[in-house]
Chain A
Amino acid sequence: MPTATVTLDHSGPSTPPPQHRRRRLAAVFGRQPLGIALAAPYAVFLAAVFAYPLGLAVWISFHRYFFAAPGAQVARPFVGLDNYKAVLSDPAVRQSFLNVVEFLVINVPLTVVLSLLLAYALNGAIRARTFLRVAYYVPYVTASVAVVAVWLFLFNSGGMVNQLLGPLAPNPSWLVNSALAMPVIALFVTWKQLGFFILLYLAALQNVPKELYEAASVDGAGKFRSLMNVTVPGVRPATTLVVIVATITGANLFTEPYLLTSGGGPDGASASPVLVMYQKGIEQGNPDVASAIGVILVIGVLVISLINRQLLERD
């Protein structure tokens, strides 16, 4: 990281005249070198908590790595792609990647459509705007662990949802049904995160010029036509952001399968890659295999983000 490598031992040879010296300093550190000092703690933090661990994850994934007591000297031989081969041939890992794809296929389109529609409706609402806005973001600001508790109560086999459905209730029930567990989790996350995405769209809607709506209505476009032809293209940069953030949230999925379906059940049908990483890396003590899962997932997220940018920002 260039910012972290700039050090202060660059004082130059003898003492030149002050003005000259100042110009030299400026050439090395910029016009206001104080900025380096102010930004340094943050730059060091990013290097220590993001850049270094990212490199370490890649390194671990190419070696045979296990936990050892601090300070102990242990051999950690280079094993090439062995960890990746082990990961890709493991049915539990493959299942978890398919699960997260299923999650994204349900969660991302639902999130984009619902948050845009709700933001559009909220933007035009005159009364009770504050109440409505707060109501929609309360799930977002609340801990997953707390709201998971209510969903457990609502969706367990004797829960209120099944009581309401009566004979239509699925059997086995929602969270223990291998076909329904992942969709329930996807729905839960959509509900929980929606408020944040509504705020993003509300901000983006302020940037759509009013004249465009007027022009559309002069041309005889109805509500729906002007939504599709003016609003949707007008908020396209926000849509890119929403899709990327929703994808990252999906890739990070852990708490919901851990608690809602008690560890990715039934039989791994709702296990997420991060949950498998936790089980393999920390419970079973194979950080090398777990790191390989992480690296594959990071690459997956980056590829999805890039494709999404290409698709959504094309004119």
Chain B
Amino acid sequence: MSRTRTWPRMVALTIGALAFLFPFYYMVIGSLQPKPDTSLAGAIPTHGVTLHNYEQINERVNLVRSLVNSGIFTGGVILFTLVFGVLAGYALARLHFRGRWSLFAIMLLVQVVPFQLLIIPLYVMIVRNYGLADSYMGMILPFAINSTAVFIFRQFFLALPEDLFAAARIDGASELRILWSIALPLVRPALLTATLITFIGPWNEFLWPFLVTKNAALQPLAVSLANYISNIAGRATNPYGAILAGAVVLATPAVVLFVAFQRHFTSSELGSGVKG
């Protein structure tokens, strides 16, 4: 490929990427403006910057409390996924047991059932029957084990050479010991990729925690910010500034995580999903 032919492509790709990033830039700029400025010039902060918008939203939405709630919700889901997902992925990949293929088929089927469509029966079960409204457990339960993560674990365990397992068995290692001391250390990259993928779900989820939590002290940030947008933003001096300040706080952890660990969120890590 000659040099002259690659650079128009680079220019197009770069312009596209900047268009994708612009709303994020605008989010940060808008959150620092003392007054909303929607003109083109408003995209460049000329009137000075202020943290007033952050104070404004923090008066209405306890940002720290909401972030902690988001963290507990997301952390709980990641913990359940890592513990039970690894066990299930290992069993599905390396152990011959009855029901293995039916479980695998059901796992694939689950990915086509749109989750939001189950909200009515889940609401009936979790909120009405089990009384788990306004609790972390009620929030976590429907997301507890991420099936995509189980699938990734399975693909990674499947890729390990059989000889390794045969040798360990001859040495008399138990199956659990093989999983813990031999297989698990070899699939460490899968743990990180699965954690990243699992993180996106609960951290960004709105509908389910919105249904389950009526108590503001338990609401994750996505829910409290959405409530702020639809109910009380009008009372702030710069409502857009305050909303954007909340948006920056909600977006930052996810963006930082994915930029820092971008190596573990690439097509080759996810590729097994397409090939499998």
Residues of A bordering B, CB below 8 Å: 1-3, 6, 28-36, 38-39, 41-43, 45-46, 49-54, 56-57, 60, 67-68, 70, 118, 121-122, 124-128, 130-154, 156, 158-160, 163-164, 191, 194-195, 199-200, 202-204, 206-207, 237-238, 241, 244, 248, 251-252, 254-255, 258-259, 262-263, 274, 277-278, 281-282, 287, 290-291, 294, 297-298, 301-302, 305
Q: Is the CB of A132 within 8 A of B84?
A: no
For B98, give its contact among A29, A38, A53, A259 (CB under 8 Å): A29
Bound-state CA distance A204–B120 (Å) is 37
Q: Is the CB of B211 within 8 A of A144?
A: no
What chain B residues lie within 8 Å of A28 (beta carbons)?
A: 98
Query: Closest Cβ of chain B: how far from A71's Cβ, in Å?
Result: 9
What chain B residues lie within 8 Å of A57 (beta carbons)?
A: 117-118, 120-121
Contact indicator per residue, chain B 259-276, by CB within 8 Å of chain A (1) or not (0): 100100111101101110
A143-B206 contact in complex given A3-B103, A252-B114, A274-B116, C-beta closer than 8 Å:
yes
What chain A residues lie within 8 Å of B71 (beta carbons)?
A: none
Query: Closest Cβ of chain A: how far from B187's Cβ, in Å?
Result: 15
Q: Is the CB of B13 within 8 A of A160?
A: no
Q: Is the CB of B20 within 8 A of A53?
A: no
B254 (CB) vs chain A CBs: closest residue: A141
A164 (CB) vs chain B CBs: closest residue: B40
Bound-state CA distance A302–B200 (Å) is 25
Q: Is the CB of B38 within 8 A of A160?
A: yes
Q: Which 8 A/B pairs are nearest by Cβ-Cβ distance?
A: A35-B97, A35-B95, A203-B271, A42-B88, A3-B99, A135-B17, A202-B267, A30-B97
Q: A53-B118, A143-B254 are in contact. List 12 more A-B contacts (CB 8 A).
A: A1-B102, A38-B90, A53-B122, A134-B259, A138-B21, A144-B206, A149-B246, A203-B271, A206-B267, A244-B112, A259-B226, A297-B114
What chain A residues lie within 8 Å of B91 (beta carbons)?
A: 34-36, 38-39
Bound-state CA distance A133–B13 (Å) is 10
A46-B240 contact in complex given A38-B88, A127-B10, A133-B266, C-beta closer than 8 Å:
no
Bound-state CA distance A132–B13 (Å) is 7
B76 within 8 A of A: no
Q: Is the CB of B84 within 8 A of A42?
A: yes
Bound-state CA distance A153–B42 (Å) is 12
What chain A residues lie within 8 Å of B271 (beta carbons)?
A: 203, 206
Q: Is the CB of B20 within 8 A of A33?
A: no
Bound-state CA distance A135–B246 (Å) is 22
Query: Closest Cβ of chain B: how far from A98's Cβ, in Å?
Result: 18
Q: Is the CB of A125 within 8 A of B125?
A: no
What chain B residues lie within 8 Å of A252 (beta carbons)?
A: 114-117
B32 within 8 A of A: no
Q: Is the CB of A6 within 8 A of B99?
A: yes
Bound-state CA distance A163–B36 (Å) is 13
Bound-state CA distance A68–B150 (Å) is 36
What chain B residues lie within 8 Å of A38 (beta carbons)?
A: 87-88, 90-91, 95
Contact indicator per residue, chain B 8-43, by CB within 8 Å of chain A (1) or not (0): 011011101110110110110010000010111011
B100 within 8 A of A: yes
Query: Closest Cβ of chain A: how far from B264's Cβ, in Å?
Result: 12
A121-B12 contact in complex given A142-B204, A150-B26, C-beta closer than 8 Å:
yes
21 of the cross-chain contacts (CB-CB < 8 Å) are A3-B99, A6-B98, A31-B96, A36-B91, A39-B91, A39-B99, A49-B141, A57-B118, A118-B16, A124-B9, A131-B17, A138-B259, A139-B23, A154-B26, A160-B38, A164-B40, A200-B273, A206-B271, A255-B226, A291-B121, A298-B117
Q: Is the CB of B112 within 8 A of A49?
A: no
Q: Is the CB of A36 within 8 A of B99?
A: yes
Bound-state CA distance A83–B117 (Å) is 16
